[in-house]
């Protein structure tokens, strides 16, 4: 008992502190409810009979439970290869992009670098314009990137937003570390690799998440450049295809088809139930990436040996 009181004391030095915590925790709980609802709702719809779901009114729990929507989506034999390509482009694209971006970020964070301003501005400006769809497409064609895997990676090697984010973090690092390494005779590349990179882990984790999510979710480049090459199709693109296929089928359905479906146990699918299903299939893997990366956020903290826990 005494110990509890003691711990309590240690934890809260003042009443205000405690009130703060109570408010904070309650607020976070409310937040969780609001933020969790859409996913749960989508999950419930994906697990509900499509025809029944049209009537609406499904919240957290399916009304007529079925796994048919998943069966319908997952039966596509193209999905496995597409998943592989998705994982590949996410892993590879993230690794390459984060490494290269961090390298350039390090360079433009060096105050003594002669071309610092030129390089920085050259990159920043590109955030606010683009040549448009057709010139970009023709460029990819002329570079022979169309129909290859590299069209997913190379155009996105440097993310300018990420570049600036990493740069401003590196600028926040103590200069003394870098200077002392330099005095020890370390070259710039080694300083970058052995001192700057490890120290920037929290921001690298953040940027990795940004790039990974971008890579995982993108389907437009597949649509533009690789749509006729099924071997390089990605998960998002294949799911998109299934959804649009359902859309097209729905508007072509006749009353006779409806009859057949109504009288057989055969389930039907609708665009909204397919959309819910593919949302779950596509988002769960990438959502799981974050908890994994979170430990690097914590690591940044524990490196200095924070107390409080």
Of residues 200-259, those binding another protein (CB under 8 A): 201-203, 205-206, 209, 213, 219-220, 223-224, 227-232, 237, 240-241, 244-245, 247-259
For residues 70 and 90, give the distance between their C-alpha atoms in angstroms, rounded to a whole number. 24
Toward another protein, which CB reaches closer, 5 or 252? 252
> Under rule CB under 8 A, which residues in 289-308 are in contact with another protein?
290-291, 294, 297-298, 300-301, 303-308
What is the distance between the alpha carbons of residues 187 and 184, in angstroms, rounded to a whole number? 9
C-alpha pair distances (Å), 77 with each of 72, 73, 84, 241, 290: 11, 10, 13, 13, 29
141 binds another protein (CB under 8 A): yes
Q: Give 138: exposed, middle or buried? Use CB within 10 Å, 0-12, 13-18, 19+.
A: exposed
Chain centroid to CA 101: how far?
17
Among 10, 28, 184, 185, binds another protein (CB under 8 A): 28
Which of 74, 83, 173, 181 is the binder for another protein (CB under 8 A)? 173
Nearest distance, CB of residue 61 and another protein, angstroms:
16
Q: Which of 48, 132, 214, 281 binds another protein (CB under 8 A)?
A: 132
Structure tokens at 54: 């049209």
Task: Provide, rounded to whole angstroms, the least separation between the CB of residue 185 and another protein.
Answer: 13
Measured in degrees and rounded to the nearest 5, phi and psi for residue 12 equal: -115, 115
**Closest C-alpha to 211, from 296, 126, 97, 124:** 97
Do residues 137 and 224 lie in contact, with contact meaning Cβ atoms separated by under 8 Å? yes
- x-or-dash pattern for another protein, window 100-119, by CB under 8 A? x--xx-xxx-x-xxxx-x-x
Range 43-102, binding another protein (CB under 8 A)? 51-52, 54-57, 75-76, 78, 88, 91-92, 95-96, 100
Shortest reach from residue 35's CB to another protein, in Å: 5
CB of 206 to another protein, least distance (A): 4
* CA distance linking residue 76 with residue 241, whole number of Å: 11
């Amino acid at each position: 008992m005494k110990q509890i009181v003691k711990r309590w004391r240690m934890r809260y030095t003042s009443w205000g502190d405690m009130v703060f915590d109570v408010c904070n925790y309650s607020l976070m709980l409310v937040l969780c409810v609001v933020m969790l609802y859409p996913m749960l709702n989508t999950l419930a719809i994906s697990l509900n009979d499509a025809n029944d779901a049209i009537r609406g009114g499904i919240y957290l729990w399916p009304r007529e439970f079925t796994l048919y929507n998943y069966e319908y989506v997952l039966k596509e034999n193209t999905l496995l290869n597409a998943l592989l390509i998705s994982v590949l482009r996410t892993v590879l694209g993230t690794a390459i992009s984060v490494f290269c971006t961090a390298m350039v970020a390090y360079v433009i964070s060096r105050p003594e670098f002669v071309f610092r301003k030129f390089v920085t501005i050259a990159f920043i400006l590109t955030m606010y314009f683009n040549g448009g769809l057709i010139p970009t497409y023709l460029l990819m064609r002329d570079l022979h990137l169309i129909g290859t895997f590299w069209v997913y990676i190379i155009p996105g090697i440097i993310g300018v937003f990420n570049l600036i984010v990493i740069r401003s973090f590196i600028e926040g690092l103590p200069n003394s570390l870098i200077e002392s390494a330099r005095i020890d005779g370390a070259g710039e590349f080694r300083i970058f690799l052995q001192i700057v990179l490890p120290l920037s882990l929290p921001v690298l984790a953040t940027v990795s998440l940004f790039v990974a999510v971008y890579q995982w979710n993108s389907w437009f480049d597949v649509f533009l450049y690789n749509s006729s090459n099924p071997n390089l199709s990605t998960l998002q693109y294949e799911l998109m295809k299934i959804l649009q296929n359902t859309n097209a089928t729905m508007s072509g359905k006749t009353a006779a088809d409806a009859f057949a479906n109504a009288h057989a146990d055969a389930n039907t699918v609708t665009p909204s139930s397919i959309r819910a299903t593919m949302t779950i299939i596509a988002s769960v893997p990438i959502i799981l990436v974050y908890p994994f990366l979170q430990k690097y956020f914590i690591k940044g903290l524990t490196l200095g040996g924070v107390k409080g826990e």
